[in-house]
Each structure stands twice: as structure tokens, then as C-alpha cells.
Homo-oligomer: A and B are copies of this chain.
């Protein structure tokens, strides 16, 4: 891939210098990263762990544990294929799973707006219970706050998860290495389009339903192959673009994609065309990206395809030593394009 001038390529925008929070700071893209790097980390100072990633692997009482936290503010709270309750459980379960952890316990904290219907809250609680049971995690502690009408928006849920990481499992973004195959577990963009279609009252021909699902079982099946899984990521906010860019930067490697190999289902393609969205930037809630040595990719793909959440798994690219920190796609026309880390928020309030 030599038709891009990598030497003179720069980040399309410098650091944003706004005096206040804008929606983009919550998009999981460049602005979110800047907020962590330039505000939270300096503010937290010595108390902060480096990076403050989606999950942390720590040691406590001699145990090797993964911790992950996520707040959910999706709007609307119910959408085709799921609800904020499903997301709140599966999202945190998946962040733990991406460290190779076996999820065990979740805390649940609610910020409720005055006036929220108890019947809606009960539906959400039931969805959380069902999702937790399906994922085999226990809801062990909780908190409820209520904010006055006008100071909230229905239901916000935080879940924080605790899991155990087996000895020998070392899955981290920085381990992605040249020669790795880049795999995806199935169709992309489905969750974001499902929420968007519901929110905007749009119809895209085919009904698109959220892919919300717990992925730790799929990860366990991948680990069981004995392959050396280098990095895993569930491409939620900011989509596949954000996740691939984060891994490329963390590992200081390049990622080369073959654009036509990206599994974009027709409903997502149509919706994105209509709305001017890039499917690679649309959120997923039941998919994972895996970076594994190419020689082991066949075994891992076979294990993924044998699992209900990985039936459509496929290879979409390769890690290279060229253009470190950058993700480049070979287009259908034979050219190449840079897949940037999304700047801000393409679809706000998507999870």
C-alpha cells in the first residue's frame, strides 16, 4: 500500500479547544480520548492507572481480576432487539471478556428521573436479570439515585463488573503484532442502526435488530483453541474504526483492511447510505475484533464459527509494521483510504 503519503499525513484535526463539554466527548472517538488524556489523567494525578482503559487487570488478595465500568444512557430505552437493561449487563460483561476474564459479579447503579414509570423500570430490571442469568453473572450490590424532572432523562444505568483472569491469559491492545490476522465475529453496525431506526422513526426495508449479546463464551471458545490471542475488542461506540485505531496506536502497528471483506449487512448498508453514516463507525453490542497470529487464525475462526455468537466470523485484515498507529483500507476500486479514529459522536446516546 504505497499510494498514500504516510510521511506527510497528519491527524485531520488538532486537539479540540472547546470551553465546555460537547456531545463528541462521549462518542468513544478522538474527543473522548482527549478528555481522558488531557483532563482526567492530569486531574487524577498519581492516583490514576496509566491509560484508564475500558477494563483493568489488577491483583487483589492474590487473585488476578479484571474490573470494567460502563454507564448506559441509550435513547430510547427500548429498541428492536433489546433494551438499556440488556446493554447494561452485556456491555460490561463484554468489556471483561475482552481481557479474557470470566465475568462473575456486577454492581448496578441507577440514576432515575423523577416521573419515570415504575412499569418501565420493572421491564428494565427484568431485562437485566434475564441477561445476567444468561451470562452467568450475579448482581451483587446496587445504588439508586433520583434526580428531579428536567435533570435527567428516564433511566441511566451504571454497571461495574468483576471477573477472574486465568493465569497465562494475556490479552491486551499493545500485544497486537505484525503478522496478526484481524478477525471480526460477524456483521457490523447492527446495534447502532437498530437504535437509530427506532429513534428517528425510520424504516430501512429490512428490520434491523440490535446484536446485544454476552461474548465471554465466545472468547472462552477462542482461548480453548490454545491460540495466542493478542488483542480483543468489542467495537461499541465509534464502531470498528475506533477499536482498530485504538489497537493500532496502543501497539504501534499498522492495520491493513480489505474493505470488501467487511461484513456489512444490507439493512445497515441501506441505512448508512440514507443517513450518510460510515458503517465502520456505527456501534456494535455483540461483536468482537480479534488480533491473532495468522498461523493460528484458521483454528480460531473455526472455533468462532462453531459458537452461536460467531457463526459469521471472518478475517478482515492484517497487522503490518508499516504506517504504525494507522488503519488503512484497500477499497473495492483498488485504491486505499485511511480509516480515521472518529472525532466525536456520529450517533449520540447509542449505548
Q: A: which residues have CB within 8 A of B?
A: 18-27, 32, 35-36, 39-40, 42-49, 52-56, 58, 60-65, 67-73, 75, 104-105, 107-119, 121-122, 124-126, 128-130, 132-133, 137-148, 150-153, 156, 158, 160, 162-164, 345, 348-349
Cβ-closest chain B residue relative to A18 = B118
Complex: A15 Cα to B86 Cα, angstroms: 29
Given A46-B133, A60-B105, A62-B63: A26 and B153 within 8 A (CB)? Answer: no
Structural contact, B69 and A142, CB atoms closer than 8 A: yes
Chain B CB within 10 Å — which of A60, A67, A119 has the most? A60
3 A-B pairs with least C-beta separation: A43-B125, A61-B63, A26-B146
19 A/B residue pairs, CB under 8 Å, sorted by A: A19-B117, A20-B115, A21-B113, A21-B116, A21-B118, A25-B112, A36-B142, A39-B121, A42-B122, A44-B129, A47-B138, A47-B139, A49-B141, A56-B140, A61-B65, A63-B63, A65-B65, A67-B140, A152-B152
> Which residues of B are found within 8 Å of A55, using beta-carbon distances?
141
Complex: A193 Cα to B63 Cα, angstroms: 42
Chain B CB within 10 Å — which of A55, A112, A132, A147 has the most? A147
